[in-house]
Amino acid sequence: MNKKIGVILLIFIVSVLSACGNEASPSSGTSGEGKTTEKIKFATDAAYAPMEFMDKGVITGFDIDFVAAVMDEAGIDFEVTNTGWDAMLTSVKQGTEYKAGISSVSITEERKQSYDYSLPYFESTNMILFKEGAGITSALDLKDKKVAVQGSTTADTLMTEIVGKSNSNLKRLDSNALALMELSGGGVDAVVADVAIVQEYMKNNPDKPFDSVLDPENFASEYYGILYPKDSELKAKIDPAIKAIIESGKYAEVYKKWFGEEPDMTRLQEEINKASK
């Protein structure tokens, strides 16, 4: 090889490698349109339509659109993986692979012992779904009924308090989908689950002989939050973004897409104000 050509080639190769190294370097802290180079992995249980569910192999739902808006506002790249409920709780607590969880996770004092939460972003309550003619008007009517819930949820906690921990009539299943199948198949008299899930099920199954009832006296309002490991740095980055999308109207836009109406922000805003202090 001609020595002069060899030197020119060497200079060219070094220049290309240097350029590639700068482009891939995480030291700048941003990539694309101001997004951080680190991709945050969220875990979810995609079996909570319309909050999070699988549609043709893709995770979708209110929570997914909500977190996309929040992370875009915060300038943080992210992805959501369907891990299932128990695996989500375990993996987020460990905080190694999954740095956050979003799956209609109610904020409770018990969970606060093991996790950190974002600001509350959604108001919910539990609802009772039952066979028509069952004569159920409140949660107290379930004491002598067979009831299905998803285990390790607030529905499980509430029904355990009402019927007792060792009551064999309380069936704790791995998902709300299984609980609803149990009711449909006649294995239980009622299902207790989040109101959005029950209403979505009734909307999609109008021919089923089911009825539903809310019981605010025994099932108080709950508030969902993004779940983090203890002492996560993400909370300080994401909380301002949650406030921002609420103030900008983006939150209402996402809510209306999935629920067909404007959100009543009165009690949710009160909870956000309390959590911000």
Spatial distance between the Cα atoms of 175 and 158, rounded to a whole number of angstroms? 16
Q: Tell me: the pLDDT tens digits for 29-72? A: 333 355 656 899 999 999 999 999 999 999 999 999 999 999 99
Cβ 176 vs Cβ 84: under 8 Å: no
Cβ 119 vs Cβ 225: under 8 Å: yes
Q: Is the pTM of this model over 0.75?
A: yes
pLDDT at 38: 83
Placement of tokens 């949710």 in the chain: 268
Per-residue pLDDT 10s for the chain (277 aa) are 443 334 333 333 334 333 333 332 222 233 335 565 689 999 999 999 999 999 999 999 999 999 999 999 999 999 999 999 999 999 999 999 999 999 999 999 999 999 999 999 999 999 999 999 999 999 999 999 999 999 999 999 999 999 999 999 999 999 999 999 999 999 999 999 999 999 999 999 999 999 999 999 999 999 999 999 999 999 999 999 999 999 999 999 999 999 999 999 999 999 999 999 8
CA distances (Å), origin 185, targets 51, 148, 179, 181, 235: 24, 12, 10, 6, 43
pLDDT at 14: 36
